[in-house]
């Protein structure tokens, strides 16, 4: 027996177990309808939860993007001021931010797919629950208990299969949402610690460096540094600095000037 | 014959189409038994692609049990194993 048949056998066995518990088959219909309504509530909550998670990811992605842009500006300004060490630090943090961003983008796409599937499942279930309500009244009104049994069995098995499928889909969406929440929380912490944002507060503590290393931040920094140097040497530097709105600041004094103004309180952390 | 693709809904198909699906299903079963991840992924996709091609979607308000149930496209071997035993389904 193949996979397809075995899976359907399990679904049927589960429906039959519930049917066997009922004394009057018609009771089954009302009982099942209640369960359906509950499941419908649950799947709607599931859709809302996934949407919330997705929106939170969206916010974080924007935040990371802004942080990345800021670190890029800081690297340029540092380089223009002759502080290659600071530029290197800023770029290495930018690489970390970029890594997180790429990661979040993939998560976002997957969450979006999950949301679409769950929305479609919720609509299918709604249509079936409506149809079931009508059918259950017809069966109860028209058939004797004996006649009803066959009709009920088939209807119940059909709806039960749908409910199992939707139930598994919700469970899966819940798992994904939980993972996403944990991840979003971790990134919030990382941002709050300044590991991703605060490039110019002196040498980073070891744990921050370790975090950066873990994110593979070191690769590519040298290349980008060289590229920036070339750009600056090519004469685009003054324009870049003007564009960043920090031309009035003496960029030659890195520990306590323009960069740290953007995030008061985080410099000494 | 009515089949369900988990997470997608139900399809109606001609009995003649089932033979072909059964062959693809046999590949899938082999992959599950031998825990061959790569073969499993491609066998599952092949089965689903073919099922969608030959099947006609059942209206959403139809309430009918399926003769065959296919796992969702991104299911893992472990999930499919659970679906083939009692452990995979939420009780109730």
pLDDT digits (tens, 9 = 90+) for A114-126: 999 999 999 999 9
Q: Using CA atoms, how far apart are residues A90 and A94, in angstroms rounded to an integer?
A: 6
CB nearest B90 (choices: A132, A155, A168): A168
pLDDT at A141: 86
Q: Using CA atoms, how far apart are residues A109 and A173, in angstroms rounded to an integer?
A: 14
Q: Using CA atoms, how far apart are residues A227 and A246, in angstroms rounded to an integer?
A: 21
Confidence bin at A74 (pLDDT 50/70/90):
confident
pLDDT at A199: 54
Q: Do B88 and A10 touch (CB under 8 A)?
A: yes
| Digit-coded pLDDT (tens) for A177-235 | 888 888 888 888 877 777 666 555 544 444 444 544 554 555 578 788 888 888 888 76
pLDDT at A217: 52
pLDDT at B87: 67
> Degrees (nearest 5) of the Cα angle A192, A190, A185?
95
Q: Which single residue is written with the structure tokens 């935040």? A: A63
Considering only the C-alpha atoms of chain B, give the largest distance between any 2 of them, rounded to a whole number of Å. Answer: 39
| Digit-coded pLDDT (tens) for A32-64 | 999 999 999 999 999 999 999 999 999 999 999
pLDDT at A208: 40
The answer to whether the beta carbons of residues A40 and A122 sit under 8 Å apart is: yes
C-alpha dihedral, A157 to A158 to A163 to A169, nearest 10° = 120
Q: Do B6 and A154 touch (CB under 8 A)?
A: no
Most confident by average pLDDT, A85-99, A204-218, B76-90? A85-99
Q: Is B12 helix (H, G, I), strand (E, B) or coil?
A: strand
pLDDT at A190: 78
Q: Using CA atoms, how far apart are residues A257 and A250, in angstroms rounded to an integer?
A: 7
- B53 to chain A, closest Cα gap in Å: 17
Chain A positions with Cβ closer than 8 Å to B: 2-8, 10-15, 18, 35, 117, 120-121, 123-124, 127-128, 130-132, 135, 154-155, 157-159, 161-162, 164-165, 167-169, 171
Which spans in chain A are helix H?
Answer: 3-21, 25-80, 84-142, 145-193, 206-214, 221-231, 237-243, 258-261
Q: Is B57 helix (H, G, I), strand (E, B) or coil?
A: strand
Q: Do B90 and A121 touch (CB under 8 A)?
A: no
Residue A245 predicted with pLDDT over 60: no
CB nearest B65 (choices: A120, A154, A167): A154
| Digit-coded pLDDT (tens) for B39-57 | 999 999 999 999 999 999 9
Reading the block at residue A239, the tokens are: 């324009």
Q: Using CA atoms, how far apart are residues A50 and A71, in angstroms rounded to an integer?
A: 31
Over residues B5-26, mean pLDDT: 94
User: Which residues in chain B have Cβ-Cβ distances shorter than 8 Å to A122?
Assistant: none
Q: Is A25 helix (H, G, I), strand (E, B) or coil?
A: helix
Residue B12 predicted with pLDDT over 90: yes
The answer to whether the beta carbons of residues B3 and B66 sit under 8 Å apart is: yes
Mean pLDDT rounded to a whole number for chain B: 92
Beta bridge partners of B2: B12
- Residue-wise over A217-245: b if at least 16 C-beta within 10 A, else e? beeebeebbeebeeebeeeebeebbeebe
Rounded to two decimals, the pTM is 0.74
Q: Using CA atoms, how far apart are residues B67 and A59, in angstroms rounded to an integer?
A: 45
Mutate to test the interface with A, among B1, B55, B63, B79 (most CBs of A within 10 A): B63
Least confident range from A75-89, A101-115, A189-203, B77-91: namely A189-203
DSSP code, position B31: H
Task: Dihedral sign for Cα A11, A13, A17, A22, please.
Answer: positive
Residue B8 predicted with pLDDT over 70: yes
pLDDT at A116: 94
Q: Which single residue is written with the structure tokens 């590991």? A: A195
pLDDT at A198: 57
Q: Which single residue is written with the structure tokens 């410099």? A: A267
Least confident range from A32-41, A205-214, B2-11, B81-90: namely A205-214
Confidence bin at A256 (pLDDT 50/70/90):
very low
| Digit-coded pLDDT (tens) for A146-184 | 777 888 888 999 999 999 999 999 998 998 888 888 888
Q: Using CA atoms, how far apart are residues A77 and A199, in angstroms rounded to an integer?
A: 12
Q: Do B88 and A12 touch (CB under 8 A)?
A: no
Which residues, in sequence order, are CB contacts of B32 under 8 Å at separation 6+?
A: A3, B40, B77, B80, B81, B84
- At A30, phi and psi to the nearest 5? -70, -40
The answer to whether residue B61 neighbours chain A at the CB level (below 8 Å) is yes
What is the interface pTM, i.e. ipTM, of the complex?
0.92
Considering only the C-alpha atoms of chain A, give the largest distance between any 2 of them, rounded to a whole number of Å. Answer: 92
Which residues, in sequence order, are CB contacts of B34 under 8 Å at separation 6+?
A: none
pLDDT at B32: 95
The answer to whether the beta carbons of residues A169 and A118 sit under 8 Å apart is: yes
pLDDT at A197: 63
Question: Is residue A248 classed exposed, middle or buried when 0-12, 13-18 and 19+ CB atoms within 10 A define those classes?
Answer: exposed
In chain B, what are the helix, strand and coil shares in percent, each to the nearest 5? 50, 15, 35
């Amino acid at each position: 027996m193949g996979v397809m048949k075995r899976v359907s056998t399990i679904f049927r066995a589960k429906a039959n177990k519930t049917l066997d518990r009922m004394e009057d088959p018609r009771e089954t219909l009302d009982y099942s309808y209640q369960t359906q309504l509950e499941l419908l509530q649950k799947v709607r909550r599931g859709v809302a939860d996934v949407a919330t998670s997705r929106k939170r990811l969206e916010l974080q992605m924007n935040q990371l993007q802004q942080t990345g842009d800021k670190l890029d500006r800081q690297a340029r300004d540092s380089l223009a001021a002759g502080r290659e060490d600071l530029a290197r630090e800023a770029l290495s943090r930018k690489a970390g931010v970029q890594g997180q961003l790429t990661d979040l983008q993939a998560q976002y796409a997957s969450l979006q797919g999950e949301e679409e599937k769950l929305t479609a499942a919720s609509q299918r279930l709604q249509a079936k629950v409506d149809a079931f309500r009508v059918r259950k009244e017809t069966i109860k009104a028209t058939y004797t208990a004996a006649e009803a049994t066959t009709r009920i069995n088939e209807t119940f098995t059909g709806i039960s299969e749908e409910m199992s499928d939707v139930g598994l889909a919700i469970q899966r969406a819940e798992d994904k949402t939980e993972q996403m929440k944990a991840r979003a929380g971790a990134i919030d912490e990382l941002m709050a610690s300044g590991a991703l944002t605060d490039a110019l507060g002196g040498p980073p503590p070891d744990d921050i460096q370790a975090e950066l290393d873990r994110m593979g931040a070191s690769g590519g920094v040298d290349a980008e540094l060289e590229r920036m140097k070339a750009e600056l040497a090519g004469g685009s530097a003054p324009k870049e600095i003007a564009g960043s709105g920090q031309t009035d600041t003496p960029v030659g004094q890195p520990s306590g000037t323009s960069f740290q103004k953007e995030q008061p309180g985080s410099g000494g952390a | 014959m009515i089949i369900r693709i988990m997470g997608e809904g139900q399809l109606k198909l001609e009995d003649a189409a089932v033979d072909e699906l059964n062959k693809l299903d046999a590949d899938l079963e082999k992959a599950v038994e031998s825990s061959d991840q790569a073969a499993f992924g491609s066998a599952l996709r092949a089965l689903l692609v073919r099922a969608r091609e030959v099947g006609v979607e059942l209206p959403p308000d139809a309430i009918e049990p399926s003769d065959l149930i296919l796992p969702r496209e991104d299911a893992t071997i472990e999930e499919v194993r659970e679906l083939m035993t009692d452990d995979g389904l939420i009780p109730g």
